Amino acid sequence: MLFIFVAGSVFLAVSLADHSGWGFVGISLAVTIGGLYESIYAFTSEVLLYQDAIEARSLFGSKKLEFQNIRGRREYATGRRTRNTYLQIEPNDGGSPSLSFEKKRDFDEAFYDWFHRLPDLDAIEPISK
């Protein structure tokens, strides 16, 4: 993510210095902003396991789900060309938030041990597509 921000910044600086067309400047600016967003998100987001709850924190806020309110887990993928796989924890009721995390995070073995002990909702009630 940080690499995308730096590369976008370099391309933006070059395109402004060379008086490139607005299209190249716009694309460079979009890549820079996207890389900055992804970098900030990557460095500020975290998943915390507590004695009685799990919490997902990011720059944009936090969501906490107590273990007693967890219905189960799911795993799903998004995108067509670049597939991102997510782990999701669903609540028992509609009043609590569901939590989703990209699977590519560096979760430790304790997290996966805990996560895989949750009921597998994909096996129980698959989501139709």
Helix axes 22-44 and 2-17, enclosed angle (nearest 10): 160
Which whole-number Å values give the CA distances from 29 to 6, 38, 59, 75, in the listed order?
11, 14, 22, 34
Length of the chain: 129
Instruction: Give per-residue pLDDT as tens, 55-76.
Output: 988 888 899 999 999 999 999 8
Q: Kindly give the parts of the chain with pLDDT less than 50.
A: none
pTM: 0.67
